[in-house]
Amino acid sequence: MRGMVIGTGLVLALLAGGWLGAETLASNRVAALIAQDPALQAASVSPLRDPRRIGVALSEPSWSDPALSISLPWARLFLSPASPLTARLDLPDGAAVTQGGQVMQLGLSAPVASMALSPLNGMAPNRLDVQARDLTLDGQPLAQGLSLQARLAGLGSDAPRPARAAYDLDLGLTDLQVGGLAQLGLDPGPIPGPLSVTGPLRIWLDGTPTVTGDAAPQIVGWQTAGLDLRADTIGLRIVGRLSRDDQGLAEGQVALYSADADAMIGMATGLGLIPAQAAMLLRAGLSQLSRAELDDTLPGPDFPAVAEGELRVAVIMRDGQLILGGVPIGPAPAI
């Protein structure tokens, strides 16, 4: 989200400059944005001075919080005169990641990052494209590929009440090594690796990202027509929708599809869709629970029929309760 804000600031500064002295104006604006955010730093911010494009060059940019820090040797933010509303980011093929006082080297190839703005939506980010291949951590494989495309979408009449903006995402993460996640301080739980995630996902935010926003918008709901997860040899498909209720708890329903019932429960527990204390109950009554009907009064996508050899488990969250097979088994998680 901070990258979105800086990219938005770059575009606005360049447009305001009318291309005359625009790089100087843009570098001053980006430097001011970095100075305002204690989590962001850069040794220097200067005009790019490349006749083929207009932008700024950053030396030693970094982002940090108490859990994780990332620093780069350099980065370049720029616009092309042919696409004045699209900010692009050039990145090096390596970065330093610090977690728990340990410094690790992150490697990647063919990094691509760009963001386009929508003049008709208050210059909100309209499109985002992030890609990279062959990610490594201290020379060891971390992920084969990473791809994220995001598009600003209309809210629609069925959007959650707190929603003020919506984005449609197309996710692609291939062969992520869970051991690498653990090194980065991200607990993969019981999910085995390597992990791959592909599919569409709509997210709803409680505000529209802007360069002048005091705080980054928060996710207040999500929906997918089919997000496919594969962990080692285990396959799991998630279909459904969850949103935040007035108490900040999840409400809605998701259906979990898998040919491996026991592994499906483990993955759903690791993803936080099923509480750990309910896993034993679910395993004991899985046959009955897999026959439970979905709640057709709740908004969400169409749920496909179960394929041969596959089980479907409906997880319903309503009135602050998590419900399996029509039986409340605990509180709904926060969202």
Q: Is the bond preceding 194 in cis, omega lying within 30 degrees of 0?
A: yes
What span, in angstroms and rounded, lies between the C-alpha atoms of 237 and 312?
9
Residue 167: per-residue pLDDT: 96
Q: Which residue has the higher pLDDT, 254 or 288?
A: 254
The predicted-structure confidence for 144-179, as pLDDT tens digits, reads as follows 999 999 999 998 888 998 999 999 999 999 999 988
The answer, yes or no, to whether residue 118 has pLDDT greater than 90, is no
- One-letter-per-residue 3-state SS of the chain: CHHHHHHHHHHHHHHHHCCCCHHHHHHHHHHHHHHHCCCEECCEEEECCECCEEEEEEECCEEECCCCEEECCEEEEEEECCEEEEEEEECCCEEEEEECCEEEEEEEEEEEEEEEEEHHHCCEEEEEEEEEEEEEECCEEEEEEEEEEEEEECCCCCCCCCCCEEEEEEEEEEEECHHHHHHCCCCCCCCCCCEEEEEEEEEEECCCCCCCCCCCCCEEEEEEEEEEEEECCEEEEEEEEEEECCCCEEEEEEEEEECCHHHHHHHHHHCCCCCHHHHHHHHHCHHHHCCCCCCCCCCCCCCCCCCCCCEEEEEEEECCEEEECCEEEEECCEC
The answer, yes or no, to whether residue 188 has pLDDT greater than 90, is no
Q: Which residue has the higher pLDDT, 248 or 234?
A: 248
What span, in angstroms and rounded, lies between the C-alpha atoms of 12 and 25?
10
Its pTM stands at: 0.82
The predicted-structure confidence for 199-214, as pLDDT tens digits, reads as follows 999 999 999 887 555 5
Identify residue 49 by its one-letter amino acid code.
Answer: R
